[in-house]
Amino acid sequence: MPVDTAEGEWKLLILFAYFTGARLSDCCRMQWDGVDLAGETLTCMQAKTGAKVTAPLHLDLLVRLNKLAGTGEHQKYT
């Protein structure tokens, strides 16, 4: 599985796409203001359809995003 050899941001990007089913372009455009860690949801606008989508965050992805948020090293984009 590609995620086994991926590291750092690549690993998070692969897991993000895997757990959300989002297109790569949507994953790359994902911003922190669309991530609700307390509510365990993710909200984004799909580039292809323009639809606003809200989905639950998988536990593995939630744990990784919480760690990243806790470092204070994240930018505007997840």
pLDDT, tens digit (0-9, with 9 covering 90-100), for 46-57: 989 999 999 999
pLDDT at site 2? 62
Question: Looking at the DSSP assignment, which residues form a beta bridge with residue 56?
Answer: 41
- Predicted confidence band of residue 78 (pLDDT cuts 50, 70, 90): low
pLDDT of residue 77: 63
pLDDT single digits (tens) 5-48: 888 888 888 888 998 889 989 988 888 999 999 999 999 999 89
Q: Domains in the chain, please, with CATH?
A: 2-71 (1.10.443.10)
CA atoms of 12 and 35, how far apart (whole Å): 14
